[in-house]
Amino acid sequence: MEKVCVLGAGSWGSALALVLADKGIEVEMWTRSEEQALEISSTGVNSDYLPEIKFPKNLKVTTDIEKAVNGGEKIISAVPSQAFRSVCRQIKPYINKGQVIINVAKGIEKGTGLRLSEVFKEEFPENCFVVLSGPSHAEEVARKIPTTVVVASEDLNIAEDVQDMFMTPEFRVYTNRDIIGVELGGAFKNIIAFGAGICDGMGYGDNTKAALITRGIAEISRLGVEMGAQLATFSGLSGIGDLIVTCTSMHSRNRRAGILVGEGKSIDEALEEVKMVVEGVTATEVGHELAQKFAIEVPITNAIYSIIDEGKDPKTVGIALMMRQKKHEVEELIKVK
C-alpha cells in the first residue's frame, strides 16, 4: 500500500487527506501547529477547519516534516501559494527523484509572477509535478458531496496515475495536459470572486454577478492565452467551473472578504474577520502586474486592484467600469492568439 504525505492541515489539505484515507491509503498529514496535531491525534477532529468531520485512524498527523515526506510516493502540497517555495526548501533535503509533488494551492508567487509549477521546477528540477484544481470547496468534499476536479501535468502518465489515486464515486477526476491554463484559471478566479463579494456586499443582484462572471472569464482567458495557456482550458473545470463556484458560494473566503469590503470595511478589517488566507488579494496584485507586462486589457482586475491597493470607493469604481468605452462582445476573444 502506497503512502501519501499531505503538507498542510487546513481545510483543503484535510479534505483531500480524507478522500485518500477513506480509500484505505496510508496518509500522513503535516502541520506546523503542535496544538493542531495533538487535537487531531487525540480526538480525530480538526476543529479549526472541519469541525464536524471525524478523521479515520489511517490518517496520521505529525509536526515532523522529515517523517511526513519520508517514504511517501506522492506528496500533496496544500500550503498557501505564498508559502509554497518556503515549504519546498524545507522538504528538499528529504526528497528523492522518484517522488511526485501534487500542488493543490491556487495562486501565483508574489514578486516573481511565477506559476507554482515554475517555482517547483526551480527548486526540484528533476521531480514530477502535478497540479490539482477545479470547483471544489473543502467543506463539501469532506462531506462526500459529488465533486469534479482536474489534474494537469507535463507527463500524462503521471497525471493519470494521480487521477486513479483520487477517483471515488463522490470525487471524479479529469486529466489535462495544459498545466499553464489550469494553474492560471485557479489563481485568477480568486480575483473575480473577490469582486463578486464586493458586489454582494453593496447589495447588487444576480444580473451584476452574471455579468462579472462572464466578463471575468473573458479577461482571464485573454491574459492566460497570452501567457501560454490553451483557450479551451478556461471553458473547463479549472476555468469557468471554478469561477462559478467561487463567485457564488459562502464557502469561498475570497467572496466573503469581498462582501465585507463591499459593506464598507477596510481590506485589513475584512481579512481579520475571515481569519483564513484570502488568495484573491495577492492574485489581484500579481494579475494587475502581469497584465501590464503582457499589455493585456483586464478592466475588472484593474478595478478590484484600485479598491484593494489604492483604497478607492467601490461604487465609484463600479460606475467607471460600466461607463468605459463601448465595445463588441466577442471580437476581442477572436483576436486572442
Q: Residues 56-77: what's their mean pLDDT?
A: 94
Percent of the chain clearing pLDDT 90 (strictly above): 89
What's the CATH code, domain 3-177?
3.40.50.720
The C-alpha cell 508567487 sits at 109
Q: Where are the alpha helices (DSSP H) in the chain?
A: 11-22, 34-43, 65-69, 84-91, 116-123, 138-142, 156-166, 179-201, 206-226, 242-248, 253-262, 267-274, 279-294, 299-308, 314-322, 331-334
Distance CA 282, CA 46 (A): 27
Distance CA 333, CA 337 (A): 9
Q: Which amino acid is at 44?
A: G
Q: Which amino acid is at 94?
A: Y
Percent of the chain clearing pLDDT 70 (strictly above): 98
Check: CB of residue 270 under 8 Å from CB of residue 260: yes
Q: Which amino acid is at 231?
A: L
Count other C-beta atoms under 10 Å from residue 226's C-beta: 16
Angle between helices 179-201 and 314-322 (to 10 degrees): 120
The helix/strand/coil state of 46 is strand
- Smallest CA-to-CA distance from 317 within 231, 212, 206, 224 is with 212
The band of 337, judged by pLDDT with boundaries at 50, 70 and 90, is very low
Look up residue 234 and give its DSSP letter. Answer: G
The number of residues in the chain equals: 337
Q: What is the pLDDT of residue 162?
A: 97
Count other C-beta atoms under 10 Å from residue 147's C-beta: 22
The band of 331, judged by pLDDT with boundaries at 50, 70 and 90, is low
What are the structural domain ranges in the chain?
3-177, 180-334
**Which tens digits make up the pLDDT trace of 13-43?**
999 999 999 999 999 999 999 999 999 999 9
Look up residue 54 and give its DSSP letter. Answer: P
The band of 335, judged by pLDDT with boundaries at 50, 70 and 90, is low
Intrachain domains 3-177 and 180-334 with the same fold: no
The band of 332, judged by pLDDT with boundaries at 50, 70 and 90, is low
Look up residue 296 and give its DSSP letter. Answer: -
**Which tens digits make up the pLDDT trace of 157-184?**
999 999 999 999 999 999 999 999 999 9
| CA-atom Rg of the chain in angstroms | 20
What's the CATH code, domain 180-334?
1.10.1040.10
How much is the mean pLDDT over the chain? 94
Q: What is the pLDDT of residue 1?
A: 58
pTM: 0.93
For the question of residue 189 being annotated catalytic, the response is yes
**Which tens digits make up the pLDDT trace of 95-146?**
998 999 999 999 999 999 999 999 999 999 999 999 999 999 999 999 999 9
Q: Is the dihedral of CA 263, 266, 271, 273 positive or negative?
A: negative
Residue 106 makes CB contacts below 8 A (sequence gap 6+) with 81, 133, 183, 186, 187, 189, 190, 242, 279
Q: What is the pLDDT of residue 323?
A: 96
Q: Residues 253-269: what's their mean pLDDT?
A: 94
Distance CA 24, CA 19 (A): 9
pLDDT at 336 over 50: no
Distance CA 284, CA 227 (A): 16
Identified catalytic residue from 189, 275, 312, 315: 189
**DSSP-derived pairing of the beta strands 147-152 and 171-176:** parallel
